[in-house]
Chains A and B, each alone.
Chain A
Protein backbone atom coordinates (compact mmCIF):
# COMPACT_ATOMS: atom_id res chain seq x y z
CA UNK A 1 0.00 0.00 0.00
CA UNK A 2 2.77 2.34 1.00
CA UNK A 3 4.62 1.41 -2.17
CA UNK A 4 1.56 2.12 -4.31
CA UNK A 5 1.16 5.48 -2.62
CA UNK A 6 4.78 6.30 -3.36
CA UNK A 7 4.31 5.49 -7.02
CA UNK A 8 1.18 7.60 -7.20
CA UNK A 9 3.00 10.50 -5.59
CA UNK A 10 5.81 10.16 -8.14
CA UNK A 11 3.40 10.11 -11.06
CA UNK A 12 1.38 13.04 -9.73
CA UNK A 13 4.56 15.02 -9.13
CA UNK A 14 5.74 14.35 -12.66
CA UNK A 15 2.35 15.23 -14.13
CA UNK A 16 2.14 18.46 -12.14
CA UNK A 17 5.65 19.46 -13.18
CA UNK A 18 4.90 18.71 -16.80
CA UNK A 19 1.59 20.57 -16.83
CA UNK A 20 3.17 23.62 -15.26
CA UNK A 21 6.07 23.71 -17.71
CA UNK A 22 3.96 22.93 -20.73
CA UNK A 23 1.52 25.66 -19.71
CA UNK A 24 4.31 28.20 -19.45
CA UNK A 25 5.87 27.10 -22.71
CA UNK A 26 2.53 27.31 -24.44
CA UNK A 27 2.01 30.85 -23.22
CA UNK A 28 5.46 31.75 -24.46
CA UNK A 29 5.17 30.16 -27.88
CA UNK A 30 1.64 31.12 -28.86
CA UNK A 31 1.73 34.26 -31.04
CA UNK A 32 0.91 37.45 -29.16
CA UNK A 33 -0.40 39.39 -32.19
CA UNK A 34 0.95 42.71 -30.92
CA UNK A 35 3.36 43.74 -33.65
CA UNK A 36 2.34 41.26 -36.31
CA UNK A 37 -1.02 39.95 -37.49
CA UNK A 38 -2.70 42.08 -34.84
CA UNK A 39 -6.10 40.95 -36.14
CA UNK A 40 -5.43 37.70 -34.30
CA UNK A 41 -6.61 39.53 -31.16
CA UNK A 42 -10.09 40.26 -32.50
CA UNK A 43 -12.07 37.11 -31.85
CA UNK A 44 -10.90 36.85 -28.27
CA UNK A 45 -11.56 40.51 -27.53
CA UNK A 46 -15.25 40.07 -28.28
CA UNK A 47 -15.87 38.49 -24.88
CA UNK A 48 -14.79 41.76 -23.23
CA UNK A 49 -17.60 43.69 -24.84
CA UNK A 50 -20.24 40.98 -25.21
CA UNK A 51 -23.55 41.46 -23.50
CA UNK A 52 -25.43 44.57 -24.50
CA UNK A 53 -25.13 44.95 -28.23
CA UNK A 54 -28.22 45.53 -30.34
CA UNK A 55 -26.46 45.07 -33.65
CA UNK A 56 -23.94 42.41 -34.56
CA UNK A 57 -21.80 42.65 -37.69
CA UNK A 58 -20.35 39.39 -38.96
CA UNK A 59 -17.97 38.93 -41.84
CA UNK A 60 -14.36 39.44 -42.85
CA UNK A 61 -12.15 42.52 -43.02
CA UNK A 62 -14.97 44.23 -44.88
CA UNK A 63 -16.76 44.58 -41.55
CA UNK A 64 -13.96 45.04 -39.06
CA UNK A 65 -12.23 47.71 -41.14
CA UNK A 66 -15.27 49.56 -42.40
CA UNK A 67 -17.77 50.03 -39.59
CA UNK A 68 -17.25 52.00 -36.40
CA UNK A 69 -19.52 51.00 -33.50
CA UNK A 70 -18.35 54.06 -31.57
CA UNK A 71 -19.60 56.29 -34.38
CA UNK A 72 -22.93 54.42 -34.44
CA UNK A 73 -23.20 55.01 -30.70
CA UNK A 74 -22.22 58.65 -30.83
CA UNK A 75 -24.57 59.58 -33.65
CA UNK A 76 -27.48 57.19 -33.22
CA UNK A 77 -27.28 55.65 -29.76
CA UNK A 78 -27.00 52.21 -31.38
CA UNK A 79 -24.92 49.66 -29.47
CA UNK A 80 -23.11 47.33 -31.81
CA UNK A 81 -20.26 44.87 -32.02
CA UNK A 82 -18.30 43.36 -34.87
CA UNK A 83 -17.24 39.73 -35.05
CA UNK A 84 -14.90 39.59 -37.94
CA UNK A 85 -11.45 38.25 -38.63
CA UNK A 86 -9.20 38.24 -41.70
CA UNK A 87 -10.60 36.20 -44.55
CA UNK A 88 -13.40 34.98 -42.33
CA UNK A 89 -15.30 32.40 -44.32
CA UNK A 90 -19.03 31.92 -44.14
CA UNK A 91 -18.89 28.89 -41.85
CA UNK A 92 -16.66 30.82 -39.46
CA UNK A 93 -19.30 33.53 -39.50
CA UNK A 94 -22.12 31.11 -38.89
CA UNK A 95 -20.41 29.56 -35.87
CA UNK A 96 -19.37 33.00 -34.66
CA UNK A 97 -23.06 33.89 -34.67
CA UNK A 98 -23.92 30.70 -32.83
CA UNK A 99 -21.20 31.48 -30.30
CA UNK A 100 -22.44 35.05 -29.90
CA UNK A 101 -25.92 33.81 -29.08
CA UNK A 102 -24.46 32.02 -26.08
CA UNK A 103 -23.42 35.39 -24.70
CA UNK A 104 -26.00 37.87 -25.90
CA UNK A 105 -28.93 38.26 -28.21
CA UNK A 106 -28.64 41.15 -30.66
CA UNK A 107 -31.74 42.55 -32.35
CA UNK A 108 -30.13 42.90 -35.76
CA UNK A 109 -27.43 40.85 -37.46
CA UNK A 110 -25.57 42.38 -40.39
CA UNK A 111 -23.77 39.89 -42.61
CA UNK A 112 -21.29 40.94 -45.28
CA UNK A 113 -21.66 38.62 -48.26
CA UNK A 114 -18.16 38.76 -49.79
CA UNK A 115 -17.26 35.37 -48.30
CA UNK A 116 -19.95 33.74 -50.46
CA UNK A 117 -17.22 33.51 -53.09
CA UNK A 118 -15.22 30.95 -51.09
CA UNK A 119 -16.75 27.50 -51.07
CA UNK A 120 -13.79 25.72 -49.52
CA UNK A 121 -11.41 26.21 -46.61
CA UNK A 122 -8.60 28.44 -47.85
CA UNK A 123 -5.80 28.51 -45.35
CA UNK A 124 -4.94 26.92 -42.05
CA UNK A 125 -3.38 30.14 -40.82
CA UNK A 126 -6.62 32.09 -41.22
CA UNK A 127 -8.53 29.32 -39.49
CA UNK A 128 -6.34 29.87 -36.47
CA UNK A 129 -7.04 33.61 -36.49
CA UNK A 130 -10.78 32.98 -36.63
CA UNK A 131 -11.00 30.10 -34.20
CA UNK A 132 -8.17 30.22 -31.67
CA UNK A 133 -9.75 33.10 -29.79
CA UNK A 134 -13.19 31.51 -29.57
CA UNK A 135 -14.26 30.26 -26.15
CA UNK A 136 -14.60 26.52 -25.80
CA UNK A 137 -18.01 25.07 -26.45
CA UNK A 138 -19.63 22.54 -28.67
CA UNK A 139 -19.93 25.35 -31.21
CA UNK A 140 -16.17 25.77 -31.35
CA UNK A 141 -15.61 22.08 -31.92
CA UNK A 142 -18.08 22.11 -34.80
CA UNK A 143 -16.52 25.29 -36.15
CA UNK A 144 -13.08 23.65 -36.17
CA UNK A 145 -14.39 20.59 -37.94
CA UNK A 146 -16.20 22.66 -40.55
CA UNK A 147 -13.15 24.81 -41.23
CA UNK A 148 -10.43 22.22 -41.63
CA UNK A 149 -8.29 22.37 -44.74
CA UNK A 150 -7.43 19.10 -46.41
CA UNK A 151 -4.15 18.88 -44.54
CA UNK A 152 -5.84 19.52 -41.21
CA UNK A 153 -8.62 17.05 -41.94
CA UNK A 154 -6.06 14.34 -42.65
CA UNK A 155 -5.23 14.29 -38.96
CA UNK A 156 -8.47 15.52 -37.48
CA UNK A 157 -7.79 14.31 -33.96
CA UNK A 158 -4.47 16.11 -33.89
CA UNK A 159 -6.03 19.26 -35.33
CA UNK A 160 -8.69 19.42 -32.64
CA UNK A 161 -6.10 18.62 -29.99
CA UNK A 162 -3.95 21.45 -31.32
CA UNK A 163 -6.79 23.89 -30.63
CA UNK A 164 -7.06 22.58 -27.08
CA UNK A 165 -3.29 22.75 -26.68
CA UNK A 166 -2.05 25.41 -29.10
CA UNK A 167 1.48 24.38 -28.17
CA UNK A 168 1.03 21.47 -30.57
CA UNK A 169 0.48 24.00 -33.34
CA UNK A 170 2.90 26.74 -32.39
CA UNK A 171 5.78 24.75 -30.87
CA UNK A 172 7.95 25.45 -33.88
CA UNK A 173 7.81 29.20 -33.17
CA UNK A 174 10.82 28.76 -30.89
CA UNK A 175 12.97 30.15 -33.66
CA UNK A 176 10.84 33.27 -34.10
CA UNK A 177 10.49 34.28 -30.45
CA UNK A 178 10.98 37.98 -29.90
CA UNK A 179 10.84 40.44 -27.04
CA UNK A 180 7.11 40.73 -27.55
CA UNK A 181 6.61 37.09 -26.59
CA UNK A 182 8.20 37.67 -23.22
CA UNK A 183 6.71 41.10 -22.62
CA UNK A 184 3.17 39.91 -23.24
CA UNK A 185 3.57 36.53 -21.59
CA UNK A 186 0.82 37.28 -19.09
CA UNK A 187 -0.86 40.31 -20.62
CA UNK A 188 -2.09 41.67 -23.93
CA UNK A 189 -3.25 44.91 -25.54
CA UNK A 190 -6.67 45.95 -26.68
CA UNK A 191 -6.74 46.34 -30.44
CA UNK A 192 -10.33 46.91 -31.42
CA UNK A 193 -13.19 49.19 -30.63
CA UNK A 194 -16.01 46.68 -30.24
CA UNK A 195 -14.42 44.75 -33.08
CA UNK A 196 -13.51 47.74 -35.26
CA UNK A 197 -9.85 48.00 -36.27
CA UNK A 198 -8.83 51.61 -36.72
CA UNK A 199 -6.43 53.10 -39.23
CA UNK A 200 -6.19 56.76 -39.96
CA UNK A 201 -3.73 56.88 -42.87
CA UNK A 202 -4.65 57.25 -46.53
CA UNK A 203 -3.55 55.61 -49.75
CA UNK A 204 -5.74 56.52 -52.68
CA UNK A 205 -6.85 54.20 -55.42
CA UNK A 206 -4.76 54.74 -58.51
CA UNK A 207 -5.54 51.70 -60.53
CA UNK A 208 -8.00 48.85 -60.24
CA UNK A 209 -7.11 45.79 -62.25
CA UNK A 210 -9.58 44.59 -64.81
CA UNK A 211 -11.81 41.85 -63.40
CA UNK A 212 -11.44 38.75 -65.48
CA UNK A 213 -14.58 36.93 -66.55
CA UNK A 214 -15.31 33.72 -64.65
CA UNK A 215 -16.39 30.41 -66.03
CA UNK A 216 -19.02 30.01 -63.37
CA UNK A 217 -20.52 32.74 -61.22
CA UNK A 218 -22.78 30.61 -59.09
CA UNK A 219 -21.94 30.37 -55.40
CA UNK A 220 -21.22 26.96 -54.00
CA UNK A 221 -23.85 24.83 -52.29
CA UNK A 222 -21.82 24.96 -49.10
CA UNK A 223 -22.10 28.74 -49.00
CA UNK A 224 -25.82 28.74 -49.71
CA UNK A 225 -26.24 26.15 -47.04
CA UNK A 226 -24.48 28.28 -44.44
CA UNK A 227 -26.33 31.40 -45.54
CA UNK A 228 -29.57 29.51 -44.98
CA UNK A 229 -28.32 28.41 -41.59
CA UNK A 230 -27.50 31.98 -40.64
CA UNK A 231 -30.96 33.09 -41.77
CA UNK A 232 -32.67 30.28 -39.89
CA UNK A 233 -30.70 30.90 -36.72
CA UNK A 234 -31.72 34.56 -36.85
CA UNK A 235 -35.34 33.59 -37.50
CA UNK A 236 -35.36 31.18 -34.59
CA UNK A 237 -34.09 33.88 -32.28
CA UNK A 238 -36.28 36.66 -33.57
CA UNK A 239 -33.31 38.52 -35.00
CA UNK A 240 -33.56 40.70 -38.09
CA UNK A 241 -30.93 39.73 -40.68
CA UNK A 242 -29.54 42.35 -43.04
CA UNK A 243 -27.20 41.40 -45.89
CA UNK A 244 -24.63 43.91 -47.03
CA UNK A 245 -21.75 44.26 -49.44
CA UNK A 246 -19.28 46.79 -48.10
CA UNK A 247 -18.12 49.54 -50.45
CA UNK A 248 -14.56 48.41 -51.04
CA UNK A 249 -13.32 48.01 -54.57
CA UNK A 250 -11.09 44.99 -54.18
CA UNK A 251 -11.64 42.07 -54.32
CA UNK A 252 -13.96 42.58 -57.25
CA UNK A 253 -17.67 42.00 -56.63
CA UNK A 254 -19.28 40.78 -59.87
CA UNK A 255 -22.76 41.86 -60.94
CA UNK A 256 -23.58 38.21 -61.47
CA UNK A 257 -22.86 37.58 -57.81
CA UNK A 258 -24.88 40.59 -56.77
CA UNK A 259 -27.91 39.40 -58.71
CA UNK A 260 -27.90 36.11 -56.83
CA UNK A 261 -27.87 37.86 -53.47
CA UNK A 262 -30.57 40.31 -54.55
CA UNK A 263 -32.75 37.38 -55.50
CA UNK A 264 -32.02 35.50 -52.30
CA UNK A 265 -32.89 38.55 -50.21
CA UNK A 266 -36.11 39.09 -52.13
CA UNK A 267 -37.10 35.44 -51.87
CA UNK A 268 -36.54 35.44 -48.13
CA UNK A 269 -37.82 38.88 -47.29
CA UNK A 270 -34.44 40.19 -46.21
CA UNK A 271 -32.86 43.62 -46.61
CA UNK A 272 -29.82 43.61 -48.85
CA UNK A 273 -27.78 46.66 -49.62
CA UNK A 274 -24.83 46.74 -51.98
CA UNK A 275 -22.96 49.78 -50.69
CA UNK A 276 -20.72 49.87 -53.74
CA UNK A 277 -23.73 51.32 -55.51
CA UNK A 278 -24.23 53.85 -52.71
CA UNK A 279 -20.61 54.99 -52.54
CA UNK A 280 -21.37 58.37 -54.00
CA UNK A 281 -24.31 59.00 -51.65
CA UNK A 282 -22.18 57.92 -48.75
CA UNK A 283 -19.53 60.30 -49.96
CA UNK A 284 -16.60 57.94 -49.98
CA UNK A 285 -13.53 59.45 -51.56
CA UNK A 286 -11.39 56.77 -53.17
CA UNK A 287 -9.08 58.88 -55.26
CA UNK A 288 -7.90 62.12 -53.65
CA UNK A 289 -4.73 62.49 -51.64
CA UNK A 290 -6.72 62.17 -48.41
CA UNK A 291 -8.79 59.29 -49.68
CA UNK A 292 -11.03 57.29 -47.35
CA UNK A 293 -9.03 54.12 -47.88
CA UNK A 294 -5.64 53.20 -46.45
CA UNK A 295 -4.68 50.58 -49.00
CA UNK A 296 -5.90 51.73 -52.37
CA UNK A 297 -9.44 50.50 -52.16
CA UNK A 298 -9.38 47.27 -50.19
CA UNK A 299 -10.23 48.69 -46.77
CA UNK A 300 -11.60 52.04 -45.57
CA UNK A 301 -9.66 54.19 -43.14
CA UNK A 302 -11.16 55.91 -40.11
CA UNK A 303 -12.69 58.74 -42.16
CA UNK A 304 -14.23 56.26 -44.55
CA UNK A 305 -15.49 54.03 -41.76
CA UNK A 306 -17.10 56.98 -39.99
CA UNK A 307 -18.77 58.17 -43.18
CA UNK A 308 -20.04 54.68 -43.87
CA UNK A 309 -21.21 54.21 -40.28
CA UNK A 310 -23.11 57.48 -40.38
CA UNK A 311 -24.81 56.44 -43.57
CA UNK A 312 -25.52 52.96 -42.29
CA UNK A 313 -26.86 54.32 -38.97
CA UNK A 314 -29.51 56.14 -40.95
CA UNK A 315 -30.18 52.98 -42.92
CA UNK A 316 -30.67 51.07 -39.69
CA UNK A 317 -32.98 53.73 -38.31
CA UNK A 318 -35.05 53.49 -41.45
CA UNK A 319 -35.15 49.73 -41.78
CA UNK A 320 -35.17 48.39 -38.22
CA UNK A 321 -36.92 49.09 -34.95
CA UNK A 322 -33.73 49.96 -33.09
CA UNK A 323 -34.04 52.64 -30.46
CA UNK A 324 -31.64 55.29 -29.20
CA UNK A 325 -29.98 54.04 -26.02
CA UNK A 326 -28.16 57.20 -25.11
CA UNK A 327 -30.87 57.73 -22.49
CA UNK A 328 -29.65 54.69 -20.49
CA UNK A 329 -27.20 56.00 -17.98
CA UNK A 330 -25.32 52.75 -17.33
CA UNK A 331 -24.95 52.19 -21.07
CA UNK A 332 -23.60 55.72 -21.41
CA UNK A 333 -21.00 54.98 -18.76
CA UNK A 334 -19.85 51.88 -20.60
CA UNK A 335 -19.67 53.62 -23.95
CA UNK A 336 -17.95 56.69 -22.54
CA UNK A 337 -15.00 54.43 -21.77
CA UNK A 338 -15.01 53.10 -25.32
CA UNK A 339 -15.18 56.61 -26.74
CA UNK A 340 -12.20 57.60 -24.64
CA UNK A 341 -10.09 54.71 -25.89
CA UNK A 342 -11.22 55.43 -29.45
CA UNK A 343 -10.05 59.05 -29.12
CA UNK A 344 -6.83 57.95 -27.53
CA UNK A 345 -5.92 55.59 -30.35
CA UNK A 346 -7.03 58.06 -32.99
CA UNK A 347 -4.79 60.76 -31.50
CA UNK A 348 -1.87 58.39 -31.14
CA UNK A 349 -2.13 57.34 -34.77
CA UNK A 350 -2.44 60.90 -36.05
CA UNK A 351 0.52 61.90 -33.92
CA UNK A 352 2.66 59.14 -35.32
CA UNK A 353 1.52 59.88 -38.84
CA UNK A 354 2.45 63.52 -38.37
CA UNK A 355 5.78 62.85 -36.77
CA UNK A 356 7.00 59.84 -38.69
CA UNK A 357 5.07 60.15 -41.91
CA UNK A 358 3.63 56.65 -41.62
CA UNK A 359 1.90 54.30 -39.25
CA UNK A 360 3.94 51.46 -37.84
CA UNK A 361 1.25 49.95 -35.64
CA UNK A 362 -2.29 50.45 -34.47
CA UNK A 363 -1.28 51.92 -31.13
CA UNK A 364 0.70 54.72 -32.72
Chain B
Protein backbone atom coordinates (compact mmCIF):
# COMPACT_ATOMS: atom_id res chain seq x y z
CA UNK B 1 0.00 0.00 0.00
CA UNK B 2 2.73 2.40 1.01
CA UNK B 3 4.66 1.60 -2.10
CA UNK B 4 1.71 2.58 -4.18
CA UNK B 5 1.52 5.98 -2.57
CA UNK B 6 5.16 6.50 -3.31
CA UNK B 7 4.60 5.52 -6.86
CA UNK B 8 1.71 7.86 -7.22
CA UNK B 9 3.78 10.63 -5.70
CA UNK B 10 6.46 9.95 -8.24
CA UNK B 11 3.98 10.23 -10.99
CA UNK B 12 2.93 13.61 -9.64
CA UNK B 13 6.56 14.71 -9.37
CA UNK B 14 7.24 13.57 -12.87
CA UNK B 15 4.27 15.55 -14.10
CA UNK B 16 5.33 18.65 -12.21
CA UNK B 17 8.91 18.33 -13.39
CA UNK B 18 7.81 17.91 -16.95
CA UNK B 19 5.80 21.09 -16.55
CA UNK B 20 8.74 22.93 -15.01
CA UNK B 21 11.08 21.79 -17.76
CA UNK B 22 8.77 22.74 -20.56
CA UNK B 23 8.03 26.05 -18.88
CA UNK B 24 11.74 26.70 -18.48
CA UNK B 25 12.42 25.84 -22.05
CA UNK B 26 9.69 28.21 -23.12
CA UNK B 27 11.05 30.83 -20.76
CA UNK B 28 14.53 30.36 -22.07
CA UNK B 29 13.53 30.50 -25.65
CA UNK B 30 11.56 33.57 -24.69
CA UNK B 31 14.75 35.12 -23.37
CA UNK B 32 16.45 34.09 -26.52
CA UNK B 33 13.80 35.70 -28.61
CA UNK B 34 14.18 38.95 -26.76
CA UNK B 35 17.88 38.74 -27.02
CA UNK B 36 17.82 38.12 -30.69
CA UNK B 37 16.12 41.37 -31.42
CA UNK B 38 18.84 43.42 -29.85
CA UNK B 39 21.81 41.16 -29.68
CA UNK B 40 23.84 44.12 -30.81
CA UNK B 41 22.68 46.23 -27.94
CA UNK B 42 23.10 43.62 -25.25
CA UNK B 43 26.37 42.57 -26.71
CA UNK B 44 27.91 45.93 -26.03
CA UNK B 45 27.84 46.25 -22.30
CA UNK B 46 28.99 42.67 -22.04
CA UNK B 47 31.90 43.21 -24.37
CA UNK B 48 32.70 46.33 -22.40
CA UNK B 49 33.75 44.02 -19.64
CA UNK B 50 34.99 41.12 -21.62
CA UNK B 51 38.31 39.43 -21.45
CA UNK B 52 37.51 37.29 -24.41
CA UNK B 53 37.28 39.47 -27.46
CA UNK B 54 35.09 36.97 -29.19
CA UNK B 55 35.08 37.56 -32.89
CA UNK B 56 38.00 39.94 -32.72
CA UNK B 57 39.81 37.97 -35.33
CA UNK B 58 36.86 37.35 -37.57
CA UNK B 59 37.84 37.41 -41.19
CA UNK B 60 36.04 39.82 -43.41
CA UNK B 61 33.01 38.25 -44.97
CA UNK B 62 32.52 38.41 -48.68
CA UNK B 63 30.22 41.37 -48.69
CA UNK B 64 31.87 43.95 -46.49
CA UNK B 65 34.05 46.65 -47.93
CA UNK B 66 34.58 47.89 -51.47
CA UNK B 67 35.05 45.15 -54.02
CA UNK B 68 36.19 45.21 -57.60
CA UNK B 69 34.45 43.01 -60.12
CA UNK B 70 36.02 41.80 -63.31
CA UNK B 71 33.62 39.64 -65.27
CA UNK B 72 32.42 36.98 -62.86
CA UNK B 73 35.34 37.45 -60.52
CA UNK B 74 34.88 39.49 -57.37
CA UNK B 75 38.07 40.78 -55.80
CA UNK B 76 37.71 41.33 -52.07
CA UNK B 77 40.42 42.98 -50.00
CA UNK B 78 42.24 40.71 -47.55
CA UNK B 79 40.61 37.66 -49.14
CA UNK B 80 42.69 34.61 -49.98
CA UNK B 81 44.27 35.31 -53.33
CA UNK B 82 44.69 31.88 -54.89
CA UNK B 83 41.16 31.35 -56.21
CA UNK B 84 40.77 34.94 -57.33
CA UNK B 85 44.04 34.95 -59.27
CA UNK B 86 43.20 31.61 -60.84
CA UNK B 87 39.80 32.90 -61.91
CA UNK B 88 41.29 36.05 -63.43
CA UNK B 89 43.33 33.95 -65.82
CA UNK B 90 46.88 34.38 -67.06
CA UNK B 91 48.23 37.83 -66.14
CA UNK B 92 49.96 39.86 -68.81
CA UNK B 93 52.78 40.51 -66.36
CA UNK B 94 53.81 39.13 -63.02
CA UNK B 95 56.32 40.49 -60.52
CA UNK B 96 57.29 39.28 -57.11
CA UNK B 97 59.36 41.14 -54.56
CA UNK B 98 60.65 39.16 -51.63
CA UNK B 99 61.08 40.90 -48.28
CA UNK B 100 64.58 41.32 -46.91
CA UNK B 101 65.48 38.64 -44.37
CA UNK B 102 62.09 37.30 -43.38
CA UNK B 103 59.83 35.18 -45.44
CA UNK B 104 57.15 37.08 -47.23
CA UNK B 105 56.54 37.94 -50.81
CA UNK B 106 54.60 40.80 -52.28
CA UNK B 107 53.26 39.90 -55.71
CA UNK B 108 51.87 42.03 -58.49
CA UNK B 109 49.66 40.53 -61.21
CA UNK B 110 49.04 42.82 -64.17
CA UNK B 111 45.96 42.53 -66.34
CA UNK B 112 44.71 44.80 -69.10
CA UNK B 113 43.68 47.97 -67.35
CA UNK B 114 44.48 46.99 -63.79
CA UNK B 115 46.95 45.37 -61.38
CA UNK B 116 46.20 43.12 -58.45
CA UNK B 117 48.69 42.99 -55.55
CA UNK B 118 48.98 40.40 -52.81
CA UNK B 119 50.84 39.96 -49.54
CA UNK B 120 51.87 36.79 -47.73
CA UNK B 121 50.96 35.74 -44.24
CA UNK B 122 51.86 32.35 -42.81
CA UNK B 123 52.53 31.09 -46.31
CA UNK B 124 49.16 32.15 -47.70
CA UNK B 125 48.65 34.98 -50.18
CA UNK B 126 45.97 37.58 -49.56
CA UNK B 127 44.74 40.43 -51.73
CA UNK B 128 46.33 43.74 -50.71
CA UNK B 129 45.09 46.00 -53.47
CA UNK B 130 43.82 46.73 -56.95
CA UNK B 131 45.05 49.64 -59.08
CA UNK B 132 43.34 50.89 -62.22
CA UNK B 133 45.55 52.03 -65.08
CA UNK B 134 43.09 53.24 -67.69
CA UNK B 135 39.41 53.71 -68.37
CA UNK B 136 38.92 50.19 -69.72
CA UNK B 137 37.85 49.16 -66.23
CA UNK B 138 35.46 50.73 -63.77
CA UNK B 139 34.24 50.15 -60.25
CA UNK B 140 30.99 48.17 -59.82
CA UNK B 141 29.44 51.50 -58.83
CA UNK B 142 30.53 52.95 -62.16
CA UNK B 143 33.56 55.17 -61.51
CA UNK B 144 36.43 55.15 -64.02
CA UNK B 145 39.61 57.06 -64.71
CA UNK B 146 38.69 60.28 -66.45
CA UNK B 147 35.34 60.65 -64.70
CA UNK B 148 34.63 64.01 -63.10
CA UNK B 149 34.60 65.16 -59.48
CA UNK B 150 30.85 65.50 -59.90
CA UNK B 151 30.70 61.79 -60.76
CA UNK B 152 32.53 60.97 -57.54
CA UNK B 153 29.99 63.05 -55.65
CA UNK B 154 27.10 61.41 -57.46
CA UNK B 155 28.32 57.83 -57.12
CA UNK B 156 29.98 57.84 -53.71
CA UNK B 157 28.47 60.93 -52.15
CA UNK B 158 31.92 62.31 -51.42
CA UNK B 159 32.76 65.91 -52.15
CA UNK B 160 35.73 65.77 -54.51
CA UNK B 161 35.58 69.15 -56.21
CA UNK B 162 38.92 70.95 -56.00
CA UNK B 163 40.55 68.05 -54.13
CA UNK B 164 43.53 65.97 -55.16
CA UNK B 165 42.34 62.84 -53.44
CA UNK B 166 39.38 61.26 -51.72
CA UNK B 167 39.75 58.20 -49.53
CA UNK B 168 36.63 56.21 -48.71
CA UNK B 169 36.56 53.54 -46.06
CA UNK B 170 34.28 50.55 -45.85
CA UNK B 171 34.67 47.24 -44.06
CA UNK B 172 38.19 46.04 -44.45
CA UNK B 173 38.94 48.20 -47.46
CA UNK B 174 39.76 51.68 -48.63
CA UNK B 175 38.86 53.12 -51.98
CA UNK B 176 41.35 55.79 -52.96
CA UNK B 177 40.39 58.18 -55.71
CA UNK B 178 43.02 60.60 -56.96
CA UNK B 179 42.02 63.66 -58.94
CA UNK B 180 43.78 66.14 -61.16
CA UNK B 181 41.91 69.27 -62.21
CA UNK B 182 38.64 67.77 -61.02
CA UNK B 183 39.10 64.65 -63.14
CA UNK B 184 39.74 61.21 -61.68
CA UNK B 185 43.37 60.28 -62.37
CA UNK B 186 43.70 57.11 -60.37
CA UNK B 187 41.45 54.59 -58.61
CA UNK B 188 42.92 52.19 -56.07
CA UNK B 189 41.49 49.60 -53.73
CA UNK B 190 43.57 49.07 -50.61
CA UNK B 191 43.27 46.41 -47.94
CA UNK B 192 43.13 47.62 -44.38
CA UNK B 193 45.87 46.20 -42.18
Contact = CB atoms under 8 A, between A and B. Distances in A.
Interface residues of B, number: 22
B50 interface: no
Contact of B102 (A37, A60, A61, A213): A37
A40 B101 contact: yes
A172 B125 CA distance: 25
Given A209-B95, A209-B115, A212-B188, A86 B164 contact: no
Interface in A81-111: 86-87
Contacts of B108: 209
B114 to A, nearest CB: 10
- The prevalent SS among residues of B at the interface is strand
A87 B185 CA distance: 31
B176 interface: yes
A207 B176 CA distance: 25
A229 B101 CA distance: 28
A126 B101 contact: yes
Interface string B89-113: 0000111011111100000101000
Contacts, number: 52
A213 B185 contact: yes
B76 interface: no
Nearest to B186: A213
Contact of A212 (B98, B115, B165): B115
Contact of A215 (B97, B101, B110, B165): B165
Nearest to B179: A215
Interface string A143-162: 00000000000000000000
Nearest to B166: A215
Interface in A16-42: 37-40
Contacts of A60: 100
A215 B115 contact: no
Interface in A239-261: 250-251
A168 interface: no
A209 B108 CA distance: 7
Nearest to B130: A212
A5 interface: no
A88 B157 CA distance: 41
Residue of A39, A60, A215, A295 most packed against chain B (CB within 10 A): A215
A210 B133 contact: yes
Nearest to A64: B100
Q: How large is the interface on A (under 10, 10 to 19, 20 to 34, 35 or more residues)?
A: 20 to 34
B97 A250 contact: yes
B131 interface: yes
B101 A39 contact: yes
Contacts of B165: 215-216
Interface in B116-147: 131, 133
Contacts of A208: 95
Contact of A37 (B98, B101, B110): B101
A296 B167 CA distance: 33
B100 A207 contact: no
A298 B97 contact: yes
Interface string B148-165: 000000000000000011
A213 B101 CA distance: 28
Contacts of B102: 37, 86, 123, 125-126
10 contacts: A37-B101, A39-B100, A60-B100, A86-B101, A86-B102, A87-B99, A87-B101, A209-B93, A210-B133, A212-B186
Interface of A: 37-40, 60-61, 86-87, 123, 125-126, 129, 207-210, 212-213, 215-216, 250-251, 295-296, 298
